[in-house]
Structure 1
């Protein structure tokens, strides 16, 4: 589906103006943000600015106060990194090779001492920026799951929390620049429009649109405050929870964890459409997204009377991740908690495809080493180099299948 941006804003205005107000659904928000007219919402583009305007208008119609540096907006100008170890310079002057990102901030004021930050990034990869896994002709990467889904659930929570759970204020944030290195959230933490010492905790939603049939939901950061794990478990009657202690991960909650703020990051898993043009609105599980929103609301409600949560440092699991020179060319199923490493997708013209491996195969042996989980798979993989050949054993529908891998 493709509309002009002007027509989409007519939809927005007609949906959100005077009484009676049309309820804007999670699907409505995803459909707007992932439409071709926004051209993939790459940071600094007109499409991303249109998305920011949409979110600001939604905040306004939800009755949220503007909490940026320019109304609902917090702009930041930066020069992109030329190598992965370089620190981004936010203080550059407008000029050649600079980009301006836009965070969008809405505040629900309960006149409380502390504030809960609820956030999601809204930028994506445009026509295929760095990080795209698409191989083929130039195409729009709409990012319906990544991360129109998180923004839509955030907006749904903003509606739910009006006049509820008033022992905290709520700052709702749509982050720019996440795909370029958590730039928007990092900038906010260093240039906050509220007192960061009074941030109670932060909830991040990044890719929450593909809840699978087994209802597996990953929650990261459960170790960043002592009460989080028991609260999550107390309200779970639906999900198969995969809980990770660490507050460090490849999404915006990391910026807040690094500022000693407890975090929770919700995630329904990667898939074959990740960072590809095929991540479209019609592939999302909207009932699942509503269930996730309801669950997060229950967790927030439970924590409402607990005051300011204590922060706890966690082990940085990413520091233990082995470095490897080769890959199978698969998308692992990070939500799989059985024995082995289950393949959730196969990349074209890569070793796994050439060896005849299939989506759903569970790698149980690579070379002479047994694979019991994701970490053991990565440790084994790190021992191989380009040109090596080895045997892989997979569990395919209960039967062991062997194949030869050429890296």
Structure 2
């Protein structure tokens, strides 16, 4: 019965959208998010019926946009794997049947401009279902993690870009990929780079969008990978008139662009920041900034347009900043505001029953001192945190509005 309900829901929704497209009423970014983040898809966990329904929807959207199927079976590129028992081991892709085998499905569409090179545009569409590994939800009853920002938002912007690019910028071909298995370790993008459906030597560069749905009032947008080709930093800056850009040169990060950087391709990754609903059931479609998403889509389109006649971009290796980060045994139980560029470490979310909450810290507090260590940014905060063990006590100083507040912390 559950499968029948999924198919019925998919048929009705996609049928309505197909009719509107035929009447020159394009599907909006909000329409795409509303489908992908609906409770009926049960959180789109890799290999589930909900993820398969999402894959079918994306494939039909590709078809109506005029993209050619470029998977291994139509628009689909299925891959099977056995989940890792050791986080340090390499995932082994397999086609063997077995109780522990999971099958994910990349969705791949191609816009063929008969050009020499191809730009890859990607976003993952899987999420955490009812709270798979990686969930930060601590409620007693299971709840659907709809992943509206993470990452229905990225897929919706990808589809919006496909609509723009089908009639513009003919200097490159475009390969659009909705990745499966990202939440389980970039599995879909990793599989694609090992089993590409185009010649990766002819690929130009890769653009990735992951969590682009919550642009804040200050219009801060993170752009990673600007160091992976000499021209990218200039292009990102020259085409920006609306965002407060936070640049990061590294091509390595916790999203699918990493798989392509590791294949020696320049990458750009777009991100509007973490929030208190990250990997929790509260990441729902009504909380997204749809106007901001449209503006981000326009910005990425302008970058692609600027690079249209530049030929194949040269690739450049970057320093992996995470290699130099300290390791720590304890945490405050907060979500840092990764896009904050002021002095200190601003708290963007507080976890239940963790040291920060017990000490009375609040969302928006800016940590400026931890023990004897001054905190000037996220790295200095992490260095200070790495000196503590479980059970240690110390004092934290935060800036709250115009005041400084002190609190005792026990890890």
Q: Do both proteins adopt the same fold according to a TM-score greater than 0.5, normalized to the shorter chain?
A: yes
Structure 1 counterpart SS, 2:62: helix
1:94 deviates by: 1.6
The total of aligned residue pairs comes to: 405
Alignment of 1:9-88 (within 5 A): 9-17=11-19, 19-88=22-91
Query: 2:117 matched to 1:114?
Result: yes
Cα separation, 2, equivalents of 1:241 and 1:178: 25
Cα separation, 1, equivalents of 2:9 and 2:69: 25
Aligned to 1:399: 403
Cα separation, 2, equivalents of 1:93 and 1:162: 39
Cα separation, 2, equivalents of 1:376 and 1:394: 14
1:343 touches 1:361 (CA, 8 Å); kept in 2? yes
Aligned to 2:354: 350
1:8 deviates by: 4.0
1:15 touches 1:21 (CA, 8 Å); kept in 2? no
Aligned to 1:102: 105
Aligned to 1:174: 178
Structure 2 counterpart SS, 1:180: coil
> Can you give the 5+ residue segments of structure 1 that lack an aligned partner in the other structure?
none
Moved over 6 A (4+): none
1:83 deviates by: 1.2
Structure 2 counterpart SS, 1:153: helix
Structure 2 counterpart SS, 1:179: coil
1:219 touches 1:242 (CA, 8 Å); kept in 2? yes
Q: TM-score, normalised by structure 1?
A: 0.98
Query: 2:218 matched to 1:214?
Result: yes
1:227 deviates by: 0.4
Query: 2:250 matched to 1:234?
Result: no
Cα separation, 2, equivalents of 1:152 and 1:59: 12
Q: Decide which of 115, 127, 138 is 2:130's aligned counterpart.
A: 127
Structure 2 counterpart SS, 1:295: helix
Cα separation, 1, equivalents of 2:32 and 2:97: 32
Structure 2 counterpart SS, 1:376: helix
Q: TM-score, normalised by structure 2?
A: 0.97
Aligned to 2:283: 279
> Can you give the 5+ residue segments of structure 2 that lack an aligned partner in the other structure?
none
1:232 deviates by: 0.7
Tell me how large the CA RMSD over aligned residues is.
1.0
